[in-house]
């Protein structure tokens, strides 16, 4: 059974990214390299920075606990391993402060899929799917690549903490 949560208020993404992280992460930001930018994400075990097709804007975000459900309008879809340690996950843009966009997610390993659609010059739709998996997912995947992605043959599965 899928459980869906609409996360509000609207997410403000900037610097072509937004973050999904377990609240156990003290410093959720990831340091981006050229390879990370080309593949559309930078990740650690419990923190992922997803690239956005637009540089700045707002997005309505829906998080679903369950398997990814393809839709024709998705323009960028990326799947990564994700571990929930604290049982609470936050979704935010890098410049947001004091926005409570967190939800409960049972501790465990997930196949996290971020599906994005551009709605206008500064508006996106972001759907997140948290599919519980055992054993843990080993590799990320680009399910749908838009024209801005140019992923390497082997995706980069690790990132440093931003600012390190």
Render pLDDT for 148-158 as a digit per residue (tens, 0 to 9): 999 999 999 99
Q: How far apart are CA 41 and CA 21, in angstroms?
A: 13
Fold of 13-144: Substrate Binding Domain Of DNAk; Chain A, domain 1 (2.60.34)
Q: Residue 163: what pLDDT?
A: 83
> Checking DSSP bridges between strand 76-84 and strand 41-44, what pairing results, if any?
unpaired
Q: Residue 99: what pLDDT?
A: 83
pLDDT over 60 at 145, yes or no: yes
Buried b (16+ CB within 10 A) or exposed e, 85-122: eeeebbbbbbebeebebebebeeebbbbbbbbbbeeee
Q: Residue 29: what pLDDT?
A: 94
User: 20: which 2 tokens?
Assistant: 């999904």
20 close to 151: Cβ distance less than 8 angstroms: no
- Residues 6 or more apart from 130 whose CB is under 8 A from it? 63, 64, 65, 66, 82, 84, 89, 105, 110, 111, 112
CA distance from start to end of the chain? 41
Tell me the average pLDDT across 87-98.
92
More confident: 60 or 100: 60
Domain ranges of the chain: 13-144
More confident: 7 or 153: 153
- The pLDDT mean for the chain works out to 94
User: 124: which 2 tokens?
Assistant: 């996106």
Q: How far apart are CA 78 and CA 144, in angstroms?
A: 7
User: 122: which 2 tokens?
Assistant: 């500064």
97 — pLDDT class (breaks 50, 70, 90): confident
Q: Residue 111: what pLDDT?
A: 98
């Amino acid at each position: 059974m899928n459980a869906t949560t609409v996360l509000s208020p609207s997410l403000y993404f900037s610097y072509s990214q937004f973050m999904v992280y377990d609240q156990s992460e003290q410093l959720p930001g990831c340091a981006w390299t050229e390879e990370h930018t080309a593949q559309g994400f930078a990740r650690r075990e419990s923190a992922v920075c997803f690239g956005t097709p637009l540089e700045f804007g707002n997005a309505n975000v829906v998080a679903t606990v369950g398997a990814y459900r393809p839709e024709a309008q998705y323009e960028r879809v990326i799947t990564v391993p994700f571990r929930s340690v604290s049982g609470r996950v936050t979704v935010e843009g890098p410049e947001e402060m004091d926005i409570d966009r967190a939800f409960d997610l049972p501790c465990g390993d997930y196949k996290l899929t971020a599906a994005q659609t551009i709605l206008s010059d500064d508006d996106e739709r972001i759907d997140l799917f948290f599919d519980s998996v055992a054993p843990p997912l080993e590799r990320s995947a680009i399910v749908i690549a838009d024209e801005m992605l140019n992923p390497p043959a082997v995706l980069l599965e690790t990132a440093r903490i931003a600012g390190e």
